A and B are shown apart, each in its own frame.
Chain A
Amino acid sequence: MKPGLIIGSFLSIIFIGLAFFSFIWIPYDIEALEISNKLKNPNLNHWLGTDHFGRDILSMIMMGARTSIAVALLAVGIGVVIGVPLGLFSAARRGSFIDEVIMRGNDLIFAFPSLVIAILITAVFGPSAVNAIVAIGIFNIPVFARLTRAAALPLWERDFILSARVCGKSEVRISIEHILPNITNLMIVQGTIQFSLGILAEASLSYIGLGAQPPTASWGRMLADAQTLVSIAPHVALVPGLAILLMVLGLNLMGDGLRDLFDPRIKGDRT
């Protein structure tokens, strides 16, 4: 086991744990404003200080983790649920017209800068968490479709697939029984990395006010609210910034570590 995987998993689990813990208990209600207590530095009552409305930053971070993780997870979900079957289908019908259509469709989506289109979608359909999920999710589809197809193609030439075909199994059945289990580890690695990109995208969207709307807490919005206060109370900006950084870093380290763990070639070199 590499230290990267351990550190990455540790960071990711902390934030995911915080998000779940927020359902049971948070230190302070984040909708209760207490202006008299605003911009307090971290202290015993408020471990991470308070913001310009006097809200507890730790509570906001916990609630924000919930938003970030939910948006990113659902966006990855959209990518996996639509992208993987598309890729499997494309690989099963490799070289056909329909394969061509699917893959060129993917290229089309890839050709657009994802964040700009996400801004466009949320701007047209109104800013909300749901629209953010859809906007980020759409760009996950071609990632998974292409990866699935690329991983499935060489498998289709393997003897065990040929013998499954000789046994009279249909393409759908072969895709599910033989191809899918052999590409799952790749999907887990890519899923982790897309998850971290989703968190970044959600933070970016809510930073410009197009993500989850108040009073729902989100890290991007906290960062946006704090930017005018950096010189007075740096911790108000520092804390959500660090939260985004650590979460994304953790997921990336974990993705890298998982890839090494799953790849027998790299494993061989290490031992």
Chain B
Amino acid sequence: MSLLNVKNLSLSIGSFQILHDVSIDVLPGEIVAITGESGSGKSLTALAVMGLLPYGSVMKGSIWLEEKNILTTSEHDLCSMRGRAMGMVFQEPMTALNPVKTIGNQVAETIIIHERVTKFEANKRAADMLQRVGLTVDPSRYPHELSGGQRQRVVIAMAIALRPKLLIADEPTTALDVTTQARILELLKDLVADFDMGLLIITHDLAVVAEIADKIVVMQNGCIVEAAKTQELLHNIRHPYTKALFNASTHRVILPKYIPSSPLLSVESVARTYNLPRKSVFGSRPKFQALDGVSFHISQGERVGLVGESGCGKSTLTRAILGLEEVQRGQIMLDGQSVFSEKKPNLEVRRKMQVVFQDPYGSFNPRHRVDRLIAEPLHVLENTPIGKDRDLAISKALEDVGLSAVDSKKYIHEFSGGQRQRIAIARALIIEPELIIFDEAVSALDVSVRAQVLDLIADLCRKRPLAYLFISHDLSVVRTVTDRVMVMQLGQIIEQGQTEQVFSNPQHTYTQSLIAAAPTLPEVTYAIETV
């Protein structure tokens, strides 16, 4: 007898059909993973099960949670079911908690809403539940005092406080570091076995799916293209889309050989501290050491990776190298010139360095057209091209990244995430810089798009010598696109060396734990008919 039975669910909003005949079965104590790229309808499927669809959705089919059909249950009854019969864990632990309530109270609240218990008892049960999810801090703490992983544990505690039969987790580990992710996945697995709960987990990360799920459901454009038991699916992938997904996830690019050459960027024992707010009125301000004696070099045409978990100082280092922020000690030189130049930008340095940011949606001014966006760096050149030359430079930059010249008159919102990241690269390339900083440049992209962008980067390297610093938390990506890698922890570079060497034979214990925690895709085999 299945716990959750979604049968031929179709969903349309307005005249647009989003889900087509989706059927999913979840048994008690079973972990079912829905995977797919953005826009595949995986999150909406989860929201449909919770009865939380946006206003105006029209549904066909049925969703049975034990004896109840969610689609025909009234909102009032659904309210009493949410939290009690089914719980949900969201992606972003930073925004899923109320910042002005203690974590103990937030967990207790769920209990008080559904059961007639005294406040004292609810608090006691909340404290027990927090302990159960592995949280060692006091329940009287506030969310801002906790780390991302701890907060996600609180969110999980809220979701399972009443021991629901079904837990839905929408990208529960996407916002977390790899080591934290491994621990949260462990916890979820443990809870499922312990409570005999059904877990419907939604994630785009195939390595996570392969590691945790009993059953895998692959979705594309609102349809289920393949669904099977994990081992069966991994050893006998039938659908070409599933195959493409797995291929893209393990995508490797071939970089041209790096020929050792003269140094380009030199970072010499750089340190940066931030002042934290005072703890008491007259107390001295505590300091946070974001960068602590960081030194490294990047040579011309060299591809260097930088990995580390959140809070390790990656962003501070990026801003310092870009010359956006002053460092307190040490020096950052690009081709013999300091990158930081007070208020007046040093165009000499600006000509040689560009950046591509993570968020393909935030890195463009929404009110400018593509040609103006791409042409932005042009003014640092000694003789800025105008008129025909400018148009020529723009269309060349667009064609270099696989777009066409006609795109230059469009606005940025007309492009998809992957296309935007191409445009960002076009903007960085237009002045032919010697160094590009990729700051988590492919982290927000779907696997197939990510593979294309990585190919593009490798392609550009083949066309002309290009040095870059590739900053990412994703070890598998860094492994394929860099010659050398640096590992950062607590503001220090604790290990650096040839990429292959570091990955296959890590020296520092932290590097070892990072590599061990990163979920890896198992070997997969494809069914004959897909070839």
Contacts and interface: CB of A to CB of B under 8 A. Distances in A.
B324 A165 contact: yes
Interface of A, secondary structure class, is helix
Given A162-B355, A162-B357, A163-B427, A168 B363 contact: no
Interface residues of A, number: 16
Interface in A175-194: 178, 181-182
A162 B356 CA distance: 10
B380 interface: yes
Given A162-B324, A182-B367, A168 B357 contact: no
A181 B376 contact: no
Contacts of A104: none
A2 interface: no
A168 B347 CA distance: 6
Contact of B365 (A168, A170, A171, A181): A181
B388 interface: no
B362 interface: yes
Contacts of A168: 345-347, 349-351, 377, 379-380
B435 to A, nearest CB: 11
Contacts of A158: 362-363
Contacts of A162: 322, 324, 355, 357
B526 interface: no
Contact of A167 (B343, B350, B362, B366): B350
B464 interface: no
Interface of B, secondary structure class, is loop
Interface in B319-374: 322-324, 343-347, 349-351, 353-355, 357-359, 362-368
Given A159-B357, A159-B359, A171-B343, A166 B322 contact: yes
Given A168-B345, A170-B344, A163 B367 contact: no
A182 B412 CA distance: 14
A160 B363 contact: yes
A169 B354 contact: no
Given A166-B350, A182-B367, A160 B362 contact: yes
A163 B357 contact: yes
Contacts of B365: 160, 178, 181-182
A164 interface: yes
Contacts of B376: 163-164, 167, 169
6 contacts: A158-B363, A159-B359, A166-B322, A167-B350, A167-B380, A169-B379
Interface of B: 322-324, 343-347, 349-351, 353-355, 357-359, 362-368, 376-377, 379-380, 424, 427
Given A158-B362, A159-B362, A168-B345, 13 more contacts: A160-B365, A162-B322, A162-B355, A162-B357, A163-B355, A163-B363, A166-B324, A166-B350, A167-B350, A167-B376, A168-B346, A168-B347, A182-B365
